[in-house]
């Protein structure tokens, strides 16, 4: 049995210096945060922690500066954004593991926030270096991990550090784990998975894990074409990975053995070029011609996906169902997203979605608010879907 967690909300943080690991790796454009979901998600937990009397030292990474100080990857824009959202000063400390860091941490008072400069400026962070982690540990009394979206990285502030000191799981991370577990570990059945995106090769482990766990797997996007090839259909000029056909066949077989219904498109929107508004037609999947590119699922496929989803109580979603960036090839993604959104908002379905493209697609369909849970994680969500353990989650368990 896996060990339970201590949750940050159970701690008495009054007068304590809390090392709060967040994932504030957010999009920044022209020196300003352009998308602040990850910051907003952790705000309620942070506010309550400050109100309860904690002095909070925020640890995060930003971008991939690879162990070097690169001013363009300073946390400054993130601190500015957080200060605005929380209505408090957020001081930045650059001398993270030196005398400056020690003095700043020691002088921090209850209710104040100190943000350490980008941890990836230090080679010890990505190396999961014990000395670097120990230097961080010396700055605080308690560690709180609230960075679900980087728990797939075994880095010093994510893995080594919480093992060295009293550690608890933050509120947002707890909510994320609860949502994910209710979707796959202990779901209300039937469970459907929607997996799309361009390539089978990038989601091989996801597919292999899901077919053994879910009752139905609906495939879309470019990766569905490789499965159509495996089934012997011609796909014309469509995107596919011919060298993955044997693997696709093995997944089809594994799905059959596991009683997982594999749902592939049986019609498509095809065009001669990959362009918004390109001339297109609806084609049955056995009538794809040489120059045709499959850019979206067709109306019959959409209807059968929605009909299957109507029988399900749980759905997990990763990857768009078609070329959703270029209308009208966003039709299947939008229609299916709306159907899931309505059932979720009405309480008859639990829906969990994650991954950068997926979130953009759901926002595009205008249904983000209707889903039961939207993960802020890309890589960590995928690794969780693969059935892997996440080092940053394991490190938080009570030992």
Which of Mg ion, ligand 3PG, none has residue 299 at its interface (CB below 5 to 8 Å by kind)? none
Rounded Cα gap, residues 173 and 153, in angstroms? 15
Q: Which of 353, 190, 156, 341 is nearest to 261 (CA)?
A: 190
Binding mask 64-93 for ligand 3PG (x = CB under 6 A): x-----------------------------
Which of Mg ion, ligand 3PG, none has residue 206 at its interface (CB below 5 to 8 Å by kind)? none
> Annotated catalytic sites, by residue?
38, 199, 356, 379
Q: Which of 360, 235, 222, 361 is nearest to 296 (CA)?
A: 222
Which of Mg ion, ligand 3PG, none has residue 145 at its interface (CB below 5 to 8 Å by kind)? none
Which of ligand 3PG, Mg ion, none has residue 23 at its interface (CB below 5 to 8 Å by kind)? ligand 3PG
Tell me the three state secondary structure of residue 339. helix
Smallest distance, Mg ion to C-beta of residue 379, A: 4
Rounded Cα gap, residues 361 and 296, in angstroms? 13
Smallest distance, ligand 3PG to C-beta of residue 23, A: 5
Q: How many CB atoms sit inside 10 A of residue 284's CB?
A: 12
Compute the C-alpha angle 304/307/312, nearest 5°: 125
Q: How many CB atoms sit inside 10 A of residue 233's CB?
A: 18
Smallest distance, Mg ion to C-beta of residue 392, A: 13
Nearer to ligand 3PG, 78 or 97 (CB): 78
Smallest distance, Mg ion to C-beta of residue 150, A: 8
Query: What residue number has its CB nearest to ligand 3PG?
Result: 25
Using CB under 6 A as the binding rule, whether residue 351 contacts ligand 3PG is answered as: no
User: CA distances (Å), 117 to each of 57, 78, 97, in order?
Assistant: 11, 10, 10
Number of residues in contact with ligand 3PG under rule CB under 6 A? 8
Using CB under 6 A as the binding rule, whether residue 150 contacts ligand 3PG is answered as: yes
Binding mask 349-388 for Mg ion (x = CB under 5 A): ------------------------------x---------
Nearer to ligand 3PG, 334 or 375 (CB): 375
Rounded Cα gap, residues 200 and 217, in angstroms? 14
Tell me the three state secondary structure of residue 15. coil
**137 close to 102: Cβ distance less than 8 angstroms:** no
For tokens 């369909």, name the residue. 365
**318 close to 381: Cβ distance less than 8 angstroms:** yes
Smallest distance, ligand 3PG to C-beta of residue 150, A: 4
Binding mask 361-390 for ligand 3PG (x = CB under 6 A): -----------------xx-----------
Smallest distance, ligand 3PG to C-beta of residue 335, A: 29
**Can you read off the two tokens belonging to residue 46?**
């942070």
Using CB under 6 A as the binding rule, whether residue 153 contacts ligand 3PG is answered as: yes
**Can you read off the two tokens belonging to residue 120?**
């990836």
**311 close to 339: Cβ distance less than 8 angstroms:** no
Query: What residue number has its CB nearest to Mg ion?
Result: 379
Which of Mg ion, ligand 3PG, none has residue 383 at its interface (CB below 5 to 8 Å by kind)? none
What is the DSSP annotation of 149-189?
Answer: GGTTS--IIIIIHHHHS-EEE-HHHHHHHHHHIIIIISPPS
Where does this chain bind Mg ion (CB under 5 A)? 379
Where does this chain bind ligand 3PG (CB under 6 A)? 23, 25, 64, 149-150, 153, 378-379
């Amino acid at each position: 049995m896996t060990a339970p967690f201590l949750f940050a909300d159970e701690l008495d943080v009054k007068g304590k210096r809390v090392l709060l690991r967040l994932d504030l790796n957010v999009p920044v454009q022209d020196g300003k945060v352009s998308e602040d979901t990850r910051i907003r998600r952790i705000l309620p937990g942070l506010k309550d922690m400050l109100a309860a009397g904690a002095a909070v030292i925020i640890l995060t990474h930003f971008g991939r500066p690879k162990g070097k100080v690169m001013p363009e990857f300073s946390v400054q824009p993130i601190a500015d954004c957080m200060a605005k959202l929380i209505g408090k000063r957020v001081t930045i400390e650059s001398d993270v593991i030196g005398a400056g860091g020690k003095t700043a941490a020691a002088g921090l008072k209850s209710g104040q926030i100190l943000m350490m400069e980008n941890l990836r400026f230090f080679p010890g962070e990505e190396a999961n270096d014990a000395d670097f982690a120990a230097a961080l540990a010396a700055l605080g009394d308690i560690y709180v991990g609230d960075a679900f979206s980087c728990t797939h990285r075994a880095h010093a502030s994510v893995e080594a550090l919480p093992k060295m000191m009293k550690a608890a799981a933050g509120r947002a991370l707890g909510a994320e784990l609860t949502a994910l577990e209710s979707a796959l570990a202990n779901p209300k059945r039937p469970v459907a998975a929607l997996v799309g995106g361009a390539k089978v090769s990038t989601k091989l482990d996801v597919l292999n894990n899901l077919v053994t766990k879910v009752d139905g797997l609906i495939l879309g996007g470019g990766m569905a074409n490789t499965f159509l090839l495996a089934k012997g259909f011609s796909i014309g000029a469509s995107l596919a990975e011919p060298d993955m056909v044997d693997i696709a066949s093995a997944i089809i077989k594994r799905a059959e053995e596991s009683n997982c219904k594999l749902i592939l498109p049986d019609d498509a929107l095809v065009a001669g070029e990959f362009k918004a508004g390109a001339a297109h037609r609806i084609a049955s999947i056995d009538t794809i011609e040489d120059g045709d590119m499959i850019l979206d699922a067709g109306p019959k496929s959409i209807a059968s996906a929605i009909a299957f989803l109507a029988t399900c109580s749980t759905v997990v979603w990763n990857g768009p169902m078609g070329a959703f960036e270029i209308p009208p090839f966003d039709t299947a993604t939008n229609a299916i997203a709306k159907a899931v959104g309505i059932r979720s908002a009405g309480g008859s379905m639990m829906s969990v979605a994650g991954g950068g493209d997926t979130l953009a697609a759901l926002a595009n369909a205008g249904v983000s608010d209707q889903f039961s849970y939207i993960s802020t994680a890309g890589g960590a969500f995928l690794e969780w879907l693969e059935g892997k353990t996440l080092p940053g989650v394991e490190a938080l368990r009570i030992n």
